């Protein structure tokens, strides 16, 4: 009997088929947008696919290629401007295939050494962008959510170590209303409370507002307070908090200062906006998602610590069968010591290969292109009588309204364009002075998007 892991002629054909698909997909810069279907409709077309005897690779693959993949939206479509899209480089996607094929366990240097070396080379560049001092370093995670959680846990453990009394308190952290939803859910996961600070007139968290909030806390709440989470580019609007003045307050109040730059972190490599991040070099920890604006395939986040030893205290796992990995022969950097996950793929490898191949300057250019597209979109919006900017673009996010439209109009327009394969642009909400409005939003990541794409999309709103 053949085992599942052996190869015969038919699997060779299937292998070639799959490789051909992968190569075609990687080289196709403008795939079909894909249209969503209900689960029961998909089931009606392909039938049950997991059976006792298997349906065969050829059949399963063709179903995926011809039906199921078409019911997805490729994140790298140049007219996918919703949420935070992505645009992994070809080099990075190719190396994602290699990362799978190489079968490396990325938790410990003993098993992953050479691969972790590559990840660390890429990490060294990320850390250099932040301006954090010597001794700062980080590790790749599954995304911003895991990076934020890892950082907050490290912060809480450091706070508990500081004073015996702190162990008795339920921890409390402060963030702003523009913070990503994952900050709130991760506080829930770690059973910490959250206080949300109002923003200033420019919709940013500032030291002044932060200090105000801290001064108004009760005695016990002040004791429970261990960290502040600022945002380096809000997901909805691209707004960067006033990091420097927030850092001042954190220093004065002896609080852990975390900057969530999951989306905006890419812009640290863009000289035209780098000044907006002044103060980030004073953070205790920073989240950056290479799978957003650093052209990595999913999933790749990063958490960086000013003092990486503090993260080790919080995250290093102990277990009888794990001790060997910390032995003499295994001396080296163990990524599992610095974030919540043990077994991990070398998810920083695709980024490393692409950086090694292209050099960092190409990254700067591609990120600047996203910023330029946002400015161009703003110009086109201002010139169109039926449209109006809600605010000047921040980073690569553009918020705008179609005069006279109701929330239903935005929704219908989104669905129509998606169905027609034109674009995926989704509405969002913008709240100002307690007034909440449904509006439209672009987020530019993909350097293959062009001015014509923007023009065509805006024209469809007439
Ligand atoms: C996207 C995002 C997150 C969540 O990151 P995932 O990679 O989706 O887990 C957190 N914070 C900010 C600011 C984000 O933009």
What spacing in Å lies between the alpha carbon of 179 and ligand 1's midpoint? 10
Torsion of CA 255, 256, 261, 265, to 10 degrees: 110
Rounded Cα distance between 183 and 231, Å, is: 10
Q: Measured in angstroms, how far is the CA atom of residue 111 from the centroid of ligand 1?
A: 30
Q: Tokens 């380096």 — which residue?
A: 232
Probe target for ligand 1 pocket from 287, 300, 340, 441, with the most ligand atoms within 8 Å of CB: 287
Q: What is residue 417's predicted lDDT score, i.e. its pLDDT?
A: 95
**What's the rounded Cα separation, in Å, for the pair 206 and 245?**
6
- How many Å lie between the centroid of ligand 1 and the Cα of residue 297? 15
Six-digit token string for 90: 């070809």
pLDDT of 212-268, one tens digit each?
Answer: 999 999 999 999 999 999 999 999 999 999 999 999 999 999 999 999 999 999 999
What is the residue with the minimal CA distance to atom 5 of ligand 1? 144
User: Is the model's pLDDT at 1 over the cut of 60?
Assistant: no
Query: What is the arithmetic mean of pLDDT over 157-185?
Result: 95
CA–centroid distance, residue 397 to ligand 1 (Å): 15
Region 443-457: mean pLDDT is 97
Contact in structure between 106 and 112 (CB atoms under 8 Å): yes
What integer pLDDT is reported at residue 329 of this predicted model? 55
Looking at residue 237, its pLDDT comes to 97
- The token pair that represents 260 in the structure block: 């969530």
Distance CA 396, CA 449 (A): 12
Ligand 1, atom 4: closest residue by C-alpha: 144
Contact (CB, 8 A) for 183 and 220: no
> Going edge to edge, which strands form the sheet with 387-389?
387-389, 397-402, 435-443, 427-432
For residue 235, the ligand 1 atom closest to its alpha carbon is: 15
Q: Binning pLDDT at 50, 70 and 90, where does residue 112 land?
A: very high
Determine contact, residues 79/421, Cβ cutoff 8 Å. Answer: no
Separation between Cα atoms, residue 337 and residue 208, nearest integer Å:
36
Q: Do domains 104-357 and 361-459 have the same CATH topology?
A: no
Under 8 Å CB-to-CB from 47, ≥6 apart: which residues? none
Over range 73-98, report the average pLDDT: 96
Alpha carbon of 176 to ligand 1 centroid (Å): 15
Whether 328 shows a pLDDT value over 60: the answer reads: no
Q: Give the closest residue to 236 by CA, choosing from 372, 3, 432.
A: 432
* pLDDT, position 399: 98
List the domain boundaries for the chain: 1-30+36-72, 104-357, 361-459
174 sits in which H/E element = strand 172-176
Asked whether the whole model's pTM tops 0.85, one would answer yes
The CATH class, in words, for 361-459 is alpha beta
Atom of ligand 1 nearest to the CA of 301: 7
Tokens for 451, please give them: 């001015």
CA nearest neighbour of 63 among 76, 50, 81: 50
Per-residue pLDDT averaged across 109-126, rounded? 95
For the chain, how are helix, strand and coil distributed in percent, rounded to 5?
Answer: 50, 15, 35
CA 325 to ligand 1 center in whole angstroms: 31
Query: Where in 177-235 does DSSP place strands (E)?
Result: 193-197, 225-231
Q: Are 234 and 243 in contact (CB under 8 A)?
A: no
Which residues are near ligand 1 (CB < 6 Å)? 84, 143-145, 148, 180, 182, 231, 235, 260, 262-263, 289, 301
Fold of domain 104-357 = 3.40.640
Contact status, residue 175 vs residue 153, Cβ threshold 8 Å: no
363 C-alpha to ligand 1 centroid (Å):
20
Q: Average pLDDT of the chain?
A: 94
Mean pLDDT of 278-292: 98
């Amino acid at each position: 009997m053949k085992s599942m892991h052996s190869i015969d002629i038919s699997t060779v054909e299937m292998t070639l088929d799959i490789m051909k698909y992968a190569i075609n997909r990687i080289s196709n810069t403008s795939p079909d947008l894909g249209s969503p279907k209900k689960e029961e409709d998909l089931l009606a077309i392909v039938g049950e696919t997991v059976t006792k005897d298997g349906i065969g690779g050829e059949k399963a693959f063709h179903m995926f290629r011809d039906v199921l993949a078409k019911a997805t939206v490729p994140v790298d479509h140049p007219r996918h401007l919703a949420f935070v899209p992505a645009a992994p480089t070809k080099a990075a996607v190719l190396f994602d295939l290699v990362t799978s094929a190489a079968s490396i366990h990325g938790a410990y240097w003993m098993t992953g050494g050479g691969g972790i070396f590559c990840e660390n080379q890429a990490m060294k560049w990320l850390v250099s962008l932040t301006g954090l001092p010597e001794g700062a370093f980080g590790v790749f995670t599954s995304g911003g959510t895991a990076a934020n959680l890892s950082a907050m846990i490290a912060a809480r453990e450091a706070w508990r170590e500081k004073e015996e009394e702190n162990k008795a308190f339920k921890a409390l952290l402060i963030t702003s209303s523009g913070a990503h939803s994952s900050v709130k859910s991760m506080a829930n996961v770690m059973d910490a409370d959250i206080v949300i600070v109002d923003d200033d007139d420019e919709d940013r968290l500032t030291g002044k507002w932060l200090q105000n909030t801290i001064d108004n806390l009760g005695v016990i709440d002040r004791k429970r307070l261990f960290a502040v989470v600022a945002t380096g580019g809000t997901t909805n609007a691209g707004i960067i908090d006033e990091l420097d003045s927030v850092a001042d307050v954190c220093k004065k109040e002896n609080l852990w200062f975390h900057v969530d730059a999951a989306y905006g972190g890419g812009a640290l490599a863009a000289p035209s906006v780098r000044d907006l991040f002044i103060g980030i070099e004073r953070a205790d920890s920073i989240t950056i998602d290479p799978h957003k604006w650093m052209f990595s395939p999913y999933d790749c986040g990063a958490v960086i610590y000013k003092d990486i030893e503090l993260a080790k205290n919080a995250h290093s796992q102990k277990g009888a069968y794990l001790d060997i990995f910390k032995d003499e022969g295994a001396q080296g950097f163990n990524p599992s010591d610095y974030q919540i996950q043990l077994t991990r793929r070398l998810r920083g490898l695709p980024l490393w290969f692409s950086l090694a191949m292209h050099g960092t300057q190409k990254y700067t250019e591609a990120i600047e292109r996203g910023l330029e597209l946002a400015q161009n979109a703003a110009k086109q919006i201002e010139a169109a009588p039926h449209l109006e900017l809600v605010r000047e673009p921040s980073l690569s996010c553009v918020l705008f309204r179609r005069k006279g439209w109701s929330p239903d109009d935005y929704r219908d327009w989104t669905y129509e364009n998606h169905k027609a394969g034109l674009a995926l642009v989704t509405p969002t909400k913008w709240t100002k002075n307690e007034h909440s409005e449904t509006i439209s939003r672009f987020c530019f990541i993909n350097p293959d998007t062009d001015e014509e794409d923007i023009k065509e999309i805006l024209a469809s709103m007439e």
